[in-house]
């Protein structure tokens, strides 16, 4: 593998990032009256691929109810990327093979970041990703002042953020997008208590680290036991004043829809009800899908519809509907696109289209005894 030992930029504190974003963004906060969903998009990195891959393009979702936030002046464009970085072609080949090939053509491997790649435009794009979350928090909070059921936000961004640690990039992530948005919600809007749900298949170690001793930011992560980066054990519950405000639930490989429904009802709901959040932020990773090549959970498109629908309901019950989703992982572009589209349907109150994509024949029996055991243990540890 051709690797250069360059780093993009020195690491920055959240305050520095906020300052840089303040200085560079031209964010337009737009929420259409009557809309039930706001999408933050910038470069077409994700959206283009979604429309190419998805048999049901996003444009078919009731466009009267949905609007994209035209929000950023982007100095660089995706056209600047190496021409071979075509993610729609990589759906059928292992992710790392595609990245190896791209690295020969000029991608930079950020040493020690386990593993994170970059181009010359990545730093700018990473600021935009973090800024998208800030913009959506602003939009959703503003809407919640005038509506009982404000639109949810969904930051369709790359790079993702939940592995980025306070001192630097990690695991395809440059800045902790959710962590930045959480602090912004507190400082700019006085929303003291932030509840973060991370259902990516990997542990959100960066977000976890950032708030491990913070009693006002609850971090709840479900992830596949033993997956990257190896953190997020069930007994990692926070530290000092933050003890109890971190919940890590590793799920056994093979866990699927049934497991996640139980986790939602028995763990996520009571935990959120007890915490009484002012806003809910979601690290929405779609790599727990049964078709995803990087993990071995068995979530389906319908699992993600259920999660989006239930989290929306939870936000309405607990915090005036204030809720922002952030795209994290997802490496099979078909299951990613269907699942994200179905999440939007849940936001909009439309029926799921998951039956057009999900194939029950490829599922195998879930390890229900192990799942039940894990749920009982976490309920005991957190007195749920
Ligand atoms: Zn992931």
Cα(294) to ligand 1 centroid in Å equals: 8
Q: Do the domain assignments include residue 9?
A: no
Rg (CA), the chain: 19
- Catalytic residue positions? 163
Give me the half-sphere count of Cα atoms (radius 13 Å) on the Cβ side of residue 271: 30
pLDDT of residue 116: 85
- Structural domain of 115: 14-381
Ion ligand 1 contact residues with beta carbon within 5 A = 200, 202, 285, 287, 329
CATH number of the domain residue 133 falls in:
3.40.800.20
Q: What share of the chain is helix, strand, coil (3-state, %, to 5)?
A: 40, 15, 40
pLDDT of residue 349: 94
pLDDT band at 121 (very low <50, low <70, confident <90, very high): confident
Q: Do the domain assignments include residue 48?
A: yes
Q: What is the dihedral of CA 309, 312, 316, 317, to 10 degrees?
A: 60
Q: Do the domain assignments include residue 366?
A: yes
Q: Do the domain assignments include residue 247?
A: yes
pLDDT band at 117 (very low <50, low <70, confident <90, very high): confident
Query: pLDDT tens, 16-40?
Result: 555 444 443 332 222 223 334 444 3
Q: Do the domain assignments include residue 91?
A: yes
Distance between CA atoms of 247 and 351, rounded to whole angstroms?
31
* Number of domains comprising the chain: 1
Q: How much is the average pLDDT of 75-94?
A: 33
Cα(201) to ligand 1 centroid in Å equals: 5
Q: Do the domain assignments include residue 93?
A: yes
pLDDT of residue 96: 57
Cα(306) to ligand 1 centroid in Å equals: 19
Cα(286) to ligand 1 centroid in Å equals: 7
pLDDT of residue 366: 98
Q: Do the domain assignments include residue 8?
A: no
Q: Do the domain assignments include residue 4?
A: no
């Amino acid at each position: 593998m051709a690797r250069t030992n360059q780093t993009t930029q020195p690491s920055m504190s959240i305050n520095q990032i906020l300052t840089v974003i303040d200085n560079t963004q031209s964010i337009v906060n737009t929420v259409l009256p009557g809309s039930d969903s706001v999408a933050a998009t910038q470069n077409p990195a994700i959206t283009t691929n979604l429309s190419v891959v998805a048999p049901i393009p996003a444009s078919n979702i009731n466009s009267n109810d949905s609007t994209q936030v035209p929000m950023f002046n982007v100095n660089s464009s995706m056209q600047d990327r190496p021409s071979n970085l075509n993610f729609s072609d990589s759906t059928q080949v292992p992710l790392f093979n595609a990245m190896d090939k791209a690295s020969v053509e000029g991608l930079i491997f950020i040493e020690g970041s386990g593993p994170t790649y970059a181009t010359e435009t990545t730093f700018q794009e990473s600021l935009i990703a973090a800024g998208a979350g800030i913009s959506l928090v602003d939009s959703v909070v503003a809407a919640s002042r005038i509506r009982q059921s404000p639109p949810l936000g969904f930051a369709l961004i790359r790079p993702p953020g939940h592995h980025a640690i306070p001192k630097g990039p990690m695991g395809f992530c440059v800045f902790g997008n959710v962590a930045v948005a959480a602090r912004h919600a507190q400082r700019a809007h006085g929303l003291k208590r932030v509840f973060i749900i991370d259902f990516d298949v990997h542990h959100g170690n960066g977000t976890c680290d950032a708030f491990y001793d913070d009693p006002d930011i609850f971090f709840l992560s479900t992830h596949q036991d033993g997956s990257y980066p190896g953190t997020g054990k069930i007994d990692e519950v926070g530290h000092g004043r933050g003890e109890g405000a971190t919940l890590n639930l590793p799920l056994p490989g093979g866990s699927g829809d049934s497991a996640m429904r139980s986790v939602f009802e028995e763990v996520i709901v009571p935990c959120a009800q007890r915490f009484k959040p002012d806003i809910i932020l979601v690290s929405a990773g779609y790599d727990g899908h049964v078709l995803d090549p990087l993990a071995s959970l068995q979530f389906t498109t319908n699992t993600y519809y259920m999660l989006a629908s239930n989290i929306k309901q939870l936000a309405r019950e607990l915090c005036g509907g204030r809720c922002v989703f952030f795209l994290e992982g997802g490496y099979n572009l078909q299951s990613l696109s269907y699942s994200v589209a179905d999440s939007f349907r849940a936001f909009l109150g439309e029926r799921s289209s998951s039956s057009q994509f999900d194939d029950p024949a490829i599922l195998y029996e879930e390890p229900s005894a192990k799942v039940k055991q894990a749920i009982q243990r976490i309920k005991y540890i957190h007195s749920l």
